[in-house]
Amino acid sequence: MSSSSSPRPSTTHDVARLAGVSQATVSLVLGGNPRARVAAATRERVIRAAEELGYRPNIVARGLVRGRSYALGVIVPDLANPFFLEVVRGIERVASTAGYAVLLCDARETTPARHLEALRARLIDGVIVDPLGVEGLPADSLTDLNLVVVDQPSERWPGVASDAEGAGRLAAEHLLALGHREVAMVGPATDVHSFRMRERGFTRALRAAGVALPSGWLRRAPATVAGGEAAMRALLPRRGSRPTAVFCTSDLLALGALKACATAGVAVPGAMSVVGCDDIEMARVVTPELTTVAVPARELGARAARLLLRQLDGRGGETRPGRVLPVRLVPRGTTAPPPTDP
């Protein structure tokens, strides 16, 4: 029912028969290795025959003999976060132009360990892990795997990273320059390195300026809009003091914070300044537009993919740390000097 009389796809044997050569010769001509010594005339005949039959190499068979699948795995914490999606797109572009397929794994759907199991069974050539607790993975399940980590410096695996600490610092300096002294911070509780570093950069810059971050003003929430909303609500008590500015270590959190302010009738940026981090597209959609720190997500992904591909080609030797990708503050509408009349 599904498929009718499908003409079995042609193989190297078919091509060989038509070209009047052996299968081995066909493989030599068509299978990668361009420097194989084959007479020009023969090569020509083979190519012509292959075209005539519409021959396409069977990547599975090739993978079986070469022990490769020409596919990469990518594990991200949460695809619904546009930031990670952007990283994935960077990876995908590089990978696909190099002839590699990408198997996407959302850590929220299954545990990374299970994902790895499934990937390994498919002879995945390598895996890119976005800032997810790789350290927590079963170590033995990783030893024989080509792995590149994103935004998560590690002794054991090569990786690429953005200047996460710098991102936090930029946010702090921006708020300090505007005159804020009563600031809060919202970040996820997960042990994701880049988030940790953003927090550290922020708190350090604050401390360097002699500004304290009361423990009550450090809110933990999942890196989602709903999380940001809840955290912000907690920062807006009915009575008592409240911060004049808040730094969210993810734009999704910041969007949630804005939402909470709107609901509570707190003017942004008049009564409350908000700074996000990532610079996702939605940051420019809300009104006022979100002040944030731009992180080159796509470039991060692209670099990770290139690094992994180099490694697969054996040219992995040059695993120098790799320049940390710079971030930059994007001042927009959600930040202003603190209200003069508290």
Residue ranges binding a second copy (CB under 8 A): 1-4, 6-7, 9, 56-61, 63-64, 69-71, 79-80, 82, 85, 88-89, 92-93, 96, 99, 101-104, 106, 109-110, 117-123, 143-147, 158, 225, 255-256, 258-259, 262-263, 281-282, 284-287, 311, 316-317, 319
* Phi and psi angles of residue 328, each rounded to the nearest 5 degrees, phi first: -150, 145
Instruction: Quote the Cα angle for 118-193-225, to 5°.
Output: 85
Q: Does 1 bind DNA (CB under 7 A)?
A: no
Question: Per CB under 7 A, does 11 bind DNA?
Answer: yes
Residue 320 site contact among DNA, a second copy, none (CB < 5 to 8 Å, cut-off depends on kind)? none
Distance CA 42, CA 155 (A): 50
Q: Which does 101 bind (CB under 5 to 8 A by kind): a second copy, DNA, none?
A: a second copy
Cα gap 317→315, rounded to integer Å: 5
Q: Which is nearer to a second copy, 218 or 312 (CB)?
A: 312
- Binding piece for DNA, criterion CB under 7 A, among 8-16, 210-218, 231-239, 274-282: 8-16
Q: Which does 11 bind (CB under 5 to 8 A by kind): a second copy, DNA, none?
A: DNA
Question: DSSP letter at 39?
Answer: -
Is 6 one of the binding residues for DNA (CB under 7 A)?
Answer: no
Q: Closest distance between DNA and the C-beta of residue 44, in Å?
A: 10
Alpha-carbon distances of 23 from 28, 65, 232, rounded to whole Å: 9, 15, 67
The helix, strand and coil proportions of the chain, stated in percent and rounded to the nearest 5, come to 45, 15, 40
Question: Considering only 14-22, 104-112, 138-146, 279-287, which stretch makes contact with DNA by CB under 7 A?
Answer: 14-22
Which contiguous run of DSSP H or E holds residue 247? strand 245-248
* Residue 4 vs 215, nearer CB to a second copy: 4
Q: Which of residues 66-105 bind DNA (CB under 7 A)?
A: 66-67
**CB closer to a second copy, 123 vs 218:** 123
Q: Is 16 left (phi over 0), alpha (psi -120 to 50) or beta?
A: alpha
Are 21 and 48 in contact by the 8 Å Cβ rule? The answer is no
Q: Give yes or no for a cis peptide into 326 (omega within 30° of 0).
A: no
Report the distance separating Cα 119 and Cα 121, nearest Å.
5
Among the listed residues 230, 247, 238, the one whose alpha carbon sits nearest the alpha carbon of residue 265: 238
With CB under 5 to 8 Å by kind, the binding choice for 39 among a second copy, DNA, none is DNA
Binding mask 22-41 for DNA (x = CB under 7 A): xxxx-xx-xxxx--xxxx-x
Question: Which one of residues 57, 133, 288, 322 is an interface residue with DNA (CB under 7 A)?
Answer: 57
Smallest separation, CB 210 to a second copy (Å): 35
- Contact 42/25 with Cβ under 8 angstroms? yes
Could you tell me the smallest distance in angstroms from the CB atom of residue 95 to a second copy?
10
Q: Are 249 and 81 in contact (CB under 8 A)?
A: no
User: Which position has the token pair 């692209």?
Assistant: 302
Contact residues: DNA, CB under 7 A: 8-9, 11-13, 20-25, 27-28, 30-33, 36-39, 41-43, 55-58, 61-62, 64-67
